[in-house]
Amino acid sequence: MDISIMDIKRDKYLNQLISFMWDGQIKVITGIRRCGKSYLLRNIFKRYLLEQGVSEENIIEIELDLVRDIKYRNPILLAEYIREKTSNKNEKYYLFVDEIQLSDEVDNPYSKGGKKITFYDTLNELRECDNLDVYVTGSNSKMLSSDILTEFRGRSDEVRVRPLSFSEFYSYVGGDKNDAFDDYSFYGGLPFVLSRKDDTAKMNYLTSLFKEVYLKDIIERKKVEREDFLDMVLNLLCSSVGSLTNPNKITNTLKSKEQISISVNTVNKYISHLKDAFLFSESKRYDVKGKSYFDFPNKYYCEDVGLRNARLEFRQQEMTHIMENILYNDLLIRGFSVDVGVVYGMQKSKSGNQVKVAREIDFIASKGSKKVYIQSAYALPDSEKEEIENRPLKLVKDSFPKIIIRHDIRKRWYNDAGILNIGIIDFLLDDDII
C-alpha cells in the first residue's frame, strides 16, 4: 500500500492515547479489522513519542503476526523478554503489542492440569511495572469487545477506533464536497479503499473483506454450524439499517420468505456475534418523557456503509437509510451515546376521538451533560413533509438543541420553532456544531 494513503490525520484517537499515558492501565486499541488500529499505534502514536524526545530504544514493539516475534505468542516468554528489556528502573519504556488475538494459552509449569496462563495474565503483571506503559491492539477474530471487559476486569482503557468519518475522509480526498460525499456513501470509510483507484477494485476489496475476513473470523471463533443462517440474518440487518426490528421479527421473516426453521434464540445469538465483532451497533428506543428504555424493537446500524453496500452487492442504494447510518456512526465517533427517541402526541382518530400516538426521533445523542435531538431527513420537498419531521421535535419540551439534518439544502437556518435545519455535508464537516 502507498503509505501516503495512511497519512490521514486521526487526531481524535491520538489525543485519547495521549490522555491515557502513564495512568497505570493497559491501553487496548480495538475496532473492526482494517480500520487503522495498528497504524495508529505503530506510526502515528510512535511518531508523537519520538517528537516528544522519547528514545526509539525505549519503545518496545512486538508484532505477533510476524515470524520474528512468533515465540512471544507464548505469554511466559513475552513476560521474561519484557522484564529483561525494562530492567533499568531509571528509564521509562513503552510496550506496543500488535495483534493480541494471536497469543497462545500455555500450561502453567508449576501447576499441572491447572488454569492455563494467557496473554492477559502477562499484561496484568506488566501493568504493575512502574517504568512501563503498555499498549496493545486487538482485532475481532480472537479478541472481541466482550473479552476486554472479562479479561482485564476494569484495569484497561479502551480506545475504540472506527472507520474514517466523512471529515477524515474528506481531509484526504479534497475536491468537490458533494462528489466526495457520494463516494463516501457508496464505498464507506475503510482507509485501504482510498488506495484503490478503480471502482471495480474498490467493490471487490470490500466484498472480499466481508466474506474472507469478517465472516470467517466469526464462524471460526464462535464455531457457527449454519453459515447459511448467519448469512441470512446478516443480509436482513444490512437491508434494514435504520428500521425498527428485533430477533422475533427477523425469525418470522426468515421462516416466511426463506422457508427455514430457525429459533429466536439462534437469531439473537447471531446478532450478538455480529455486534461483538464490531460489524453492527444497536440503538435502543428511549421514552423521552418516561425516561425509560423499551425492550424492543431496536435499530441496528452497520459499522461502515461501504461494507453494508458490498454485502448487498451494491444494489440497494436507499439514500435515506445510508444517510441515517452515516449520521449514527458519526455521532459515535464524536463520543456520543445514541438512542432512538419516542415521544407521544395527540391525534384525531378516524372516529373523531383524540388518541395518543407515538412519534419517533431518529437520534437522541448524549455525552455527559450534553444532549441533542436529531432528525435525519433526506429531503423535505413540501410543508407536509416538513411538518412530519418537525412534529416529534416540537413535542419535546426541554431546552436541549434540536436539529433536522437534510440532504436537500446547503445553507443552515432556524425555523420558527427554533429547530436548526442543516445540510448533511455541512454537519459532518463541522466538529463544533454539537
Each residue of 254-274: pLDDT tens digit? 999 889 999 999 999 999 999
Q: What's residue 3's pLDDT?
A: 41
Q: What's residue 401's pLDDT?
A: 97
Residue closest to 242 by CA, chosen among 176, 307, 327: 327
Q: Structural domains in the chain?
A: 3-160 (3.40.50.300), 166-284+296-315 (1.10.10.10), 337-429 (no CATH)
At residue 128, φ and ψ (nearest 5 deg) are -80, -10
pLDDT tops 50 at residue 144: no
Mind giving me the DSSP string for 367-406?
A: ETTEEEEEEEES---SHHHHHHHHHHHHT--S-S-EEEEE
pLDDT tops 80 at residue 413: yes
At residue 82, φ and ψ (nearest 5 deg) are -70, -40
- Split at pLDDT 50, 70, 90, the class of 112 is confident
- Split at pLDDT 50, 70, 90, the class of 402 is very high
Query: Where does residue 222 rank: exposed (0-12), middle (13-18), buried (19+ CB within 10 A)?
Result: middle
Strands 413-414 and 402-406 come out as unpaired
Query: Where does residue 190 rank: exposed (0-12), middle (13-18), buried (19+ CB within 10 A)?
Result: buried
Q: What's residue 114's pLDDT?
A: 84
Residue matched to cell numbers 425509560: 292
% of the chain at pLDDT higher than 70: 95
Q: What's residue 140's pLDDT?
A: 54
Q: What's residue 234's pLDDT?
A: 96
Strand-pair partners of 61: 96
Q: What's residue 110's pLDDT?
A: 87
Q: What's residue 102's pLDDT?
A: 83
Residue matched to cell numbers 488475538: 101
Q: What's residue 118's pLDDT?
A: 87
Q: What integer best gives the mean pLDDT of the chain?
A: 92
pLDDT tops 60 at residue 404: yes
- Split at pLDDT 50, 70, 90, the class of 2 is very low
Each residue of 327-364: pLDDT tens digit? 999 999 999 999 999 999 988 888 888 889 999 999 99
- Split at pLDDT 50, 70, 90, the class of 150 is low
Q: Is the pTM of this model over 0.85?
A: yes
**Please, are residues 246 and 298 in contact by the beta-carbon 8 Å criterion?**
yes
Each residue of 378-393: pLDDT tens digit? 999 999 999 999 999 9
Q: What's residue 353's pLDDT?
A: 87
Positive or negative: CA dihedral 221, 217, 9, 405 = negative
% of the chain at pLDDT higher than 90: 78
- Split at pLDDT 50, 70, 90, the class of 6 is low
Q: What's residue 233's pLDDT?
A: 96
Q: What's residue 1's pLDDT?
A: 41
Each residue of 157-202: pLDDT tens digit? 889 999 999 999 999 999 999 999 999 999 999 999 999 989 999 9
Each residue of 12-54: pLDDT tens digit? 999 999 999 999 999 999 888 889 999 999 999 999 999 999 9
